[in-house]
Structure 1
Amino acid sequence: VSPEPPPSVPALCLLLMLSGAGSQTASCASWCPPNSTCDSATTCRCNPGFSSPLGESIISPAESCDDINECGPPAKVSCGKLADCQNVEGSYYCTCVPGYELASGGKTFRNESENTCQDVNECSLKQNPCHNTTHCLNTVGGYKCRCRPGWKPIPGSPNGPNNTICEEMHFPSWTRPSEVNSSQSLSRFFDKVQDLDRDFKPDLAKRTIQKLIMYLDELLEAPGDLEDLNPSTQHHIATSLLLGLEQVLRTLAQALPEPSFTYRSPSKTELSLMIQKQEKDGNRSVIVGQSHARMQLEWAVAGQDKDSGDGHGHTVVGILSSPNMKRLLANASLDMEPSKKAKLEETHENPVHGAQLKVLSAVNSVFLSNTNTEKLDSPVTFAFSHLQPETPGPRQELICAFWKGDNDRGGHWATTGCWKLGSENGSTTCQCSHLSSFAILMAHYNVEDPKLALITKVGLALSLVCLLLCILTFLLVRPIQSSRTTVHLHLCICLFVGSAIFLAGVENEGGQVGLRCRLVAGLLHYFFLAVFCWMSLEGVELYFLVVRVFQGQGLSTRWLCLIGYGTPGVIVGVSAAVSAAALNSQGYGRISYCWLDLAHGFLWSFLGPVTFIVLCNAVIFVITVWKLTQKFSEINPDMKKLKKARVLTITAVAQLFVLGCTWVFGPGPLQPSSWV
């Protein structure tokens, strides 16, 4: 048993242990990096809110403790809605987004459960944040400064809410058209507009609008010397009036205190305005209307365009309907879009040479605060009231048209970007992807060239007179009657009857292939085939007369009539039977003309026999001219060559017509593209 240690030994051991711990702590604290604490003699640990790239423990003085971004992606904390996370060194805090504050009035919070962010009503503060020329309008998360009625932002005023400064509204400038000097009526109108400009006050904007419409009615109801101007000048004036009225009314509407305004003058000119004074849902629809027109669109479409620089004004939607404006737009032309024209030509089976127009509705000028309306984000729907027209014919159509100004003609009607949705009971619904001045027109399409139609009708009328004289001559003058004149007589009769039917009934005005049109087509088929059959008999008679002069006098009258009238009867009978059986009676008659249908090759029931007859007569013509040349040499060998050529040429030309060789152009008028 060892002896007990002296009492001083435990105390000494304890003293040595405390001394060792102190030396360890002192050695650790000397090398730990910033934002860390000593963990042991060999390791350190980063403070809360900091981290080391190599792990939790730091074992080298070269390592560092970096700030943890609690707000950065991926987010380690959530502040909730309408709040932002703000990172600070070693920590973070949450704040409400601008325009919102905590219900307690505090500035910061730590987590989503403490989020009580709510909208701040900046306009209820004691100190108005807006300029004294504006009204403060609270919005969700902010506010806006809007000019008071009759005021507008001064030029150069920034769009920021605090710096908006307004000035009293002035009557907008209206540039006089150059045609003012040539018209006293127009000059008086603009003199009155100048008076409105001089006496204008924003609080009297409603009265100014009414006077402006009254002056417009006086100008259009009694245009005076305006009617003496040429159409192009009248169209220039109409374009200037429509554009100027839109600009003036758009501006004056900003000064109206009411959210809507409608005025109807004694001359039935109407103005309807809708004014949106506060921010609302841009997708909400608005309907503006009066007796002449109604319009539906979205407020977002009506709002001012971003590039206008006038973002503080109210949103305006307006329609000005003027029944008298169409006086200046009379005789205006219509420019059809290519696809529309192609569809019409396909329907009418003929080229379309423009249209004759009649304005049925008032001229409705549509304007918005948004002046960039050439291509809208969403289409606008219109319903226009107009005169109840008679049932449109096959070449007539109600169309939605808009007025488009140009430098050459002053302006014209167009349809591009507008289409008709329906029409009934004196009202037509349209949709357009742009805005302008609109009207409902009755368009009568010209599906044939008026000059060519005149040539056809005059030529046929003269032909009928001459054919009638020929028929009377062959019937009444006995000395010239022979088998040859018999062929001439029946040829003239068939050509007379066929031409008369063609002149009277070839056009199908009804637009539907009915019994009348089929009957006309069948008669034309028969008589024109009979014409060519008698022309073939002309060739046969000529062949017997010139080539076989000593071998008989040709066919008898009975055989001539049997061939001349029987052959076309057989062809037409077979064609009608085939049409009824195979084509459901659609072989005779077309939409535009009462003639043979082009489909299924049915036209060859006419072209086939005609081609055969013309080719045969052409051969006979060549043989005849050759024989005549020989006979001229035999009969009078002393005849000079020039005289012989002249006589032969005259005879050949006469035979060319008699044999019908010029009828190779005959089917041309019945083909849309055969203008030759």
Structure 2
Amino acid sequence: MGWTNSYSILFKLLELGLVLGVHLSDSSSRLEADEVDKVLLRHQLKAYWMCRLNVTQYAKGNDSCPPEFDGWGCWEATPAGQVAKIECPSFGSLAEDKNFVTRTCHTGGKWAISGIDGEEDGEYLRCQLKKISANHKKILENLLHEMDDIKTSPYAMSESAQEFERCINDVLSSPGPTDKLYCPGTFDGWSCWNATSAGDVVYVPCPVFVTGFHPGRYAHKVCEEDGSWFLHPETNKTWSNYTTCIDKDDLSFRDKINKIYIAGYSISVIALSVSLVIFFYFRSMKCTRITIHKNLFVSFIINNILWIVWYTEVIKYPEVLFSNKTACQVLHVLVHYFLLSNYMWMFCEGLYLHTLLVIAFVAEDKIMKWFYILGWGSPIVVITCYAGVRSSYPEDTVFCWIEESRFTWILSGPVCIFMLLNFIFLINIVRVLVTKLRAVNSPDTHQTRKAVRATLILIPLLGLHYIITPFRPEPGSPEEAVYEPISAAVASFQGLCVSLLFCFFNGEVIALIKKKWQQTFTTWGNDTNRNYAVTTMSTMPTTPSHHDREDTTAV
């Protein structure tokens, strides 16, 4: 349907050695496993990431307390002198009734001191929290401190979330060896690394859920002689070497697909813009059909420009995806709004053609009002529902929303319905056309030729070629090497195809351009002849002849 795009290029980041996380444990916090509640620890870490995803942005320098997760509750940024209020945590609370917790923000932007076990100032006493050991508290404090440097939540994908929770149970909450120097167990955002003896190298299979990675290869991590994980010289953070996981052939293939999209959209924008200028220039072409064409072309142009921005400014720079700022999320929503609008104007084209065939008289001024509502208004309703539902699930809002979402059906559902209607329109239009051709007793071959030509012209106008795109082959399959270039070309060059068929190859447009050219050439030719005559007169000899001298003397 065109909703999913190639984005494996983001893994070029790994060629620079920049990965998602840092180590999540320290030898000082590696304590007895029987004193750590693994289930509670898992809930606390998940609540931490939910807090990071949901709190509002905090402007440093303001006289307010920053957003914070204290192990139990998530506190929003609060102005100094005010009291914040949250519900008791849903995990670890033994209270039967729903209670609330308050916390004071002191002058200077300092939170009231609160122990994460709720015992220092009594804030969490009413929640009747489950008692935790000092070891559990120490492990949690270290994990929360070290996770501050991780940009992407392990819960961004279900696969990495499962790996993270397994890592908590088996590695992060378990003691390391006591008889030798070692690097503590760690989770880097994708993989879990066991405690490793100093000077050794540990290997893990490449994560299968990362697009662009070869599942049969291994990543590795180096434990230095001093018992610390290797630090990357550019970032000064612990580094897991995933460069061996990168399927460079697949990366190159995805890069070429992205270039096809950029080239196709760029050419389409130029062709559509020229077509739009032609439609606006020749006022004699002003009619409902051309007005619908204009709106369709505008939706194409804006959508194609936004796709170009997406491929050149977002996908090309993985750090933009990882930062996941509001601007790129808004860009995602705008891209899909104008994509929806594009489909809706294709539907309007089909509906108008079908209406002309079925209804003898059409009040075109009234029907255009409905077309404006369908073409520009209805996509607003759909995209608002989509953005509202998807934004309410933090795991679906990472990486600038580039990942496939379980809510994509909100977008693709209406598109499929209107594509089906356009297909029905096409069949009926061709049926009526063939009937009329037979009525004028034209030869069968001529009838067939006209019907086929009409069908081929209407397919790109109605967007029916997109019917094949949902049947996407499995990634890495031989069919994908054929499907992806065709899909990229079909999607990106559709604007060019429509502008050629309905503007540059349109008989009415060609006739008007020829007429304008002839008028311009004739005017230019007349001006040239006049200028030549004036120039000839002005350049005649100024020395008079014998008779001229006599006439001049006489005058």
TM-score grouping bracket, smaller chain normalisation: 0.3 to 0.5
- Which structure has greater strand proportion? 1
- Which structure has greater helix proportion? 2
Whichever of the two has the greater Rg, that structure is 1
The normalised TM-score by structure 1 is 0.35
